[in-house]
Amino acid sequence: MAAISSNIKPRVLVVSRRTIRKNKFVDFVGEYHLDLIVSYGAVPVIVPRVAGIDNLIESFEPLHGVLLCEGEDIDPSMYDTQNSNAMSEQELEEVKKLHASDTAIDKEKDLIELKLVKLCLERKIPYLGICRGSQILNVACGGTLYQDIGKEMLKECPENPIVTHIDYEDYDGHRHVIKVVEDTPLHNWFKESVNKQSLEILVNSYHHQGVKKLAHCFVPMAFASDGLVEGFYDPNGYNPKRDAQLLIREFVKAVIAYQKNLDASACILKSSQFKQEIDQKKRKIITRSNSLNPEFLKFDIDLSIQQEVRLMQMGATVRNSNLYFKRMKLQNKEREVAAREVMEAMTVQQLSKFLSFHRLMGEICLEVLEKKLLGNDNNELCFLVS
């Protein structure tokens, strides 16, 4: 028998990235993100970035959330459809040498994550993009990227301050200032840390690419001193009553809420299917239990006294059934009214668990009932009243 879904933790899909170890590709995901997902009550499911996985996403169901995080540069052909060549060939080569560990394009990871983003938008599944993850979100929704912040922004906005967005010598310690947009989710999450007058805060930074044109569905939450968008959100997908302080914790809260809503919907659907299954099984049992011995149907066979008595008892039962059913209908109506009052006071989670329990009891009852009926002597007549 299948496990009851309410006991399953919500599942957050995370696509791996690859590196080379002993001359072979190895898939991995940063452990810090996985630890946080687990600590807040969800289960991280790692999706390997191998060929063909983008066509097998349904195999990772059930899906309750998607975390998009670090990785290599996104294939520019996915957002620079005009092939504008904002940088010369020489500049591109310089960028590849300077950022050798990040500029190797991983098309498989791009395809898988774009497919997941599309699925999230279609089903309203919670998603969170960090670093490259925010960039793939922007590209998936129609935005574009700077292939290299240092070279492209200097050309476009030479008057803006220069900001160091990546420092290979100080990976963990490097910080730069961002200005948070007031009354955005980011401002609400870090209200205690943001400077009250300037709305500035120091953030860690490790990226050489960034948002060039922000997709129309997103709203900026923070900017660097050079004007680069450092954070954004979808106002149609964010619920300020639910989200509050810390990023991944609130993401997992949204994932858990999505799973509960999904389970409740599934229970309603299953209860309808279960009722149909029960009705079909009842009809089969009633047909079997009310079938007379074929010998009774032959007119040239004399009935025994025992058989005649049994048939008279059957007739009396049928004649008295109308009164019995009227009484039962009245009692059932009163019970139904009382049950509705109790259930309307219950939460969605309580109703979901209650429905799962009674579904299990119904299956057990049918199994035991069928065993008892099949164990009876073929000549013995029995009745099942629904």
Pick from 90-104, 112-126, 244-258: least confident = 244-258
Q: Is pLDDT of 382 > 90?
A: no
pLDDT confidence of residue 308: 57
For 46, the 3-state DSSP assignment is strand
Q: Which residues of 135-155 are buried (b: 16+ CB within 10 A; e: fewer)?
A: bbbbbbbebbbbbbbbbbbee
Once rounded to an integer, what is the mean pLDDT over residues 351-379? Answer: 71
**Residue 332 pLDDT:** 73
Q: How many CB atoms lie within 10 A of CB 78?
A: 17
Sheet holding 144-146, edge to edge: 144-146, 210-213, 229-233, 219-224, 175-180, 200-204
Task: List, in order of start, the domains of the chain with CATH numbers.
Answer: 5-259 (3.40.50.880), 281-375 (no CATH)
Query: What per-residue confidence (pLDDT) applies to 9?
Result: 87
pLDDT (average), residues 54-66: 91
- Banded pLDDT at 313 (limits 50, 70, 90): low
* Percent above pLDDT 90 for the chain: 27
Which of 180, 182, 203, 186 lies closest to 245 in space, CA to CA? 186
Distance CA(242)–CA(250), nearest Å, equals 8
pLDDT for the residue 378: 40
In whole angstroms, give the CA distance from residue 247 to residue 245.
Answer: 7
pLDDT of residue 30: 86
Task: Evaluate if pTM is beyond 0.95.
Answer: no
Distance CA 153, CA 163 (A): 10
pLDDT confidence tier of residue 371, bands split at 50, 70 and 90: confident
Mean pLDDT, rounded, for 334-356 = 79
- 10 Å CB burial of residue 50 (0-12, 13-18, 19+) is middle
The pLDDT value recorded for residue 111 is 95
Q: Which of 82-86, 179-183, 367-371 has the lowest mean pLDDT?
A: 82-86
Could you tell me which residues are beta bridge partners of residue 27? 18
What would the pLDDT profile of 231-272 be if each residue is shown by its tens digit? 999 988 765 544 433 577 778 888 888 877 777 666 655 555
pLDDT at position 108: 93
Between 244 and 134, the higher pLDDT residue:
134
Q: Is residue 170 within 8 Å of residue 206, measured between CB atoms?
A: no
